[in-house]
Amino acid sequence: MTPLLLGWVAGVAGQLQQASLWADWVYALLLLVALAIGMGLWRIQGSGIARSLGCLLVGVLAGAGQAGWRAADFAAQAMDPALEGVLLLVSGRIDSLPQRGADGHQRFELAVDAAERQGRPVGIPDRLLLSWYPPRGQEGRAPPVVRAGERWQLPVTLKRPHGLLNPHGFDRERWLWEHGIGATGSVKAGRHDRQIRRLAPSGAWRIDAARQAVREQIDSRVADDRQAGVIAALVVGDQSAILRQDWELFRVTGVAHLMSISGLHVTMFAWLAMRLVSALWRALARRRPAVALAVPVPVAAAWGGIVLATAYALFAGWGVPAQRTLLMLAVVLGLRLRGHRWPWPLVWLLAMAVVLLLDPLALMQPGFWLSFVAVGILFSSDPGRSLVPESQVHGWHRPLRSVGRLLAEQGVITLALAPLTLMLFAQVSLAGLVANLMSVPWVTLVVTPLAFLGVLLPWAWDVAAVALGWMSHGLEWIATLPWAVIERPIAPWPLAAAAVVGGILLVQRWPWVLRSAGLLLVWPALLWSPARPAPGDFEVMAIDVGQGSAILVRTTRHALLFDTGPRQGEDSSAGERVIVPLLRALGEQLDAVVVSHADSDHAGGMEAIAEAHPQARWLASFATEPSRRCVAGQHWEWDGVRFDIMHPWPQDYAEDGRTLLEDNAMSCVLRVTHAAGQESAWLTGDIDADHEVRLAMAHPQATATLLVAPHHGSATSSSPVWLNTLQPRHIVIQAGYRNAFRHPSPTVLARYSQRDIPWVSSPACGAATWRSADPGRVQCWRHQDRRYWRSAPREASAAAGWTAKAGESLAEDTDD
């Protein structure tokens, strides 16, 4: 079985690397070939290398075939592009816990029953992710509260799955694919209110409805939103209830795994359930001995505990950590009840293969690798093992031994997972050992039992909230320690994989001569840093932040950020979600930040950037301090690369520092020039056509190799005079997918085409990178890292410059 299971995992991993899917019959053929080879091997007696290789091949073909077949089946249900942005009347069932924002908006998944357009049925994907905002101009009027399990008729506009795409960033399109969501969109309230109806309930009892009821009881009982969110996450698995500031605290201190329904919680619940079933079964057996003869107590306790733990996992959202824990428990208990003792690697592989059978894309989740590697480390190293037999430990030595075992396990896990954590998140929490030693027993033995008890006795939630408050104070103190977190750039996967192996070697119970080889494997990944431009050269990366602007400029030893991305909701921004993680993954420390103007799509991430990079120097057109204003004539040089502020002019500021122009017209314009003066990039903010002409007249000899399109390609910018003067060789347009402003304008794109200027846009390109050392091309991350679950670049390009037909509504951008 070992080569068969290894082959299955390898086959699934290989299929997930496909840039595009094959036809479904190809995957069916792979499954048939695997079946044929497997039947042939079944007839062959004995063992050997040839038989093992045959089993490995069967696993590879079966894993790739099964994963590909599922993917091709889901891809066949893709939404018709002609229905994007069109008003549809959809009826279906609320199929998730609705998430509510502070402004009253709701977000939920809808299982579709039927859809129609102007009275005629149309085919759309089976599951939608919808946002329901208050009507424009009526932000104080919250939409009706929807509940899990209810059926609704809703007027909606939809778009195909699409998300921001940057190196090392969150892949929203993969997340949507994994959750079976074929389209996203928004409910069109206001003038379409008459079409909104709550339909007759389906009548079937829904687990999500019970989860929502418990979540609402927690919210009404616990006054502190922070503590209520953590309790809801522990009881019903609603991780969206945890506030963003708390997630950051748990990330820094390395205890985030405790705040979701993890393997630790499921294991604890299964153990308690088995003890309860065992006691009840023994009591029943005393009255009716025939029961114990028919089903022995160990059998009843084992399967009763698994059934109850499965019910708990379903109630908690059926996450991947809960799935894999249940599978591993079921395998281990099943084998023991049958008298088998399989080697732990085989049990470990079997659980992994079954999880991938249920959800192939789980292989792409960081949590999948963190939990499976952690379990494998504990199996292989047995850090709590003692030379003194358990039977010889008495009295007060027993609790000391338990504490010692906990210390050993946490130390081993922290050390062994450090390289994997660096590979996944570009940081590792050194404070995690201390924080986990404090938090694991507190959450496991105090907070979680109280949280569950609160379902029956609501006062227990009050006690749990107090316990969480004490723990939060301790974690906040730990997070302030200077050595709490180490950050390193994410290394290439060969170096990272070697480092992970090295971390595992370091914690094995082997001679130090062998374990020290782990240091040799870890060291290259720790020392690695991304390649930087040579002296005199520079690199420009237009970060994909949706409808907004953020551009990273790097030289040999310096980095500058131009604009900080848009604000995304009341408590989030692209600076926090996209830019800071990207800079961390690249190992960048900003030397300067230039914010073109005060509009929220350019300045929305300022707070997050300033907190993460306090050493950076800031320039902005709206700064009150004279030393922080960008004014034409300012210039500096880094590593042979010249930076010039071209706009606004000194006369655009009043004597008291006020700006004399409206925000867009005051946009800072930055020119970055190659050492030899041959290549240059112009970063332009939202400057309008009038000021483009003024700039062109002031600098008639100026040219641009790369131009970031002013105002996201709006018709109010990219004037003919500007383009004729700069004569850019490449243009990058930063805009959101199917944005409400219809950027870029077809008129502007026509001007680019008339002048044979190649252009790329964020929806089709993702992060766009241009280098002065290779000025002839712009590299698109969506092209470089193609995956079949992402929209094809040409499709995104066509949608970026779309023009709505008469009578059609605009789909709101829900990428945040």
**What is the per-residue DSSP string for 619-654?**
EETT-SSGGGB--TT-EEEETTEEEEEEES-GGGB-
267 pLDDT above the threshold of 60: yes
Joined together, the tokens standing for residue 659 give: 């700006």
Confidence at 372, pLDDT banded by 50, 70, 90: confident
Closest CA to 587 of 613, 549, 614, 619: 613
Phi/psi of residue 620, nearest 5 degrees: -155, 150
Sign, CA torsion 459/460/461/464:
positive
pLDDT at 805 over 60: no
Predicted pLDDT at 37: 92
Q: Tokens at residue 455, please? A: 């379902």
- Answer yes or no: is pLDDT of 168 > 90: yes
In the block, residue with structure tokens 């077949």: 69
- Tens of pLDDT, residue by residue over 514-538, are 888 889 999 999 999 999 999 999 9
Terminal alpha carbon distance of the chain: 44
The rounded distance, in Å, linking the Cα atoms of 393 and 38 is: 51
| pLDDT score, position 765 | 96
The model's confidence at residue 401, banded by pLDDT at 50, 70 and 90, is: low
CA 393 to chain centre: 47
pLDDT value at residue 374? 81
Q: What's the confidence (pLDDT) of residue 742?
A: 92
| pLDDT tops 80 at residue 408 | no
Checking if the pLDDT of 679 tops 60, the result is yes
Q: Residue 148 has what pLDDT?
A: 86
CA-closest candidate to residue 417, choices 376, 463, 459, 478: 376
430, 472, 483, 664 from 478: Cα distances, Å: 10, 10, 9, 44
What is d(CA 739, CA 714) in angstroms, rounded to the nearest whole number?
A: 12
Which tens digit of pLDDT belongs to each residue from 42-77? 877 666 788 889 999 999 999 999 999 999 999 999
Does the pLDDT value for residue 801 go beyond 50? no
Using CA atoms, how far apart are residues 565 and 768, in angstroms rounded to an integer?
A: 15
Given a cut of 70, is residue 389 above it in pLDDT?
no
Query: Which of 87-101, 507-521, 720-734 is modeled with the greatest confidence?
Result: 720-734
Report yes or no: 185 and 127 within 8 Å, Cβ to Cβ.
no
Residue 724: pLDDT over 90: yes
DSSP reduced 3-state for 174:
helix
* pLDDT at res. 795: 46
- Rounded to the nearest integer, the mean pLDDT of the chain is 87
Provide the pLDDT for residue 288: 81
Q: What pLDDT is attached to residue 388?
A: 42
> pLDDT tens digit string along 293-322?
778 888 888 888 888 888 888 887 777 677
What's the pLDDT at 315? 80
- Return the percentage of the chain with pLDDT > 90, whole number: 53
pTM for this model (two decimals): 0.89
Amino acid at site 251 = R
Note the pLDDT of residue 393: 44
- Strand residue runs (E) in 133-174: 151-159
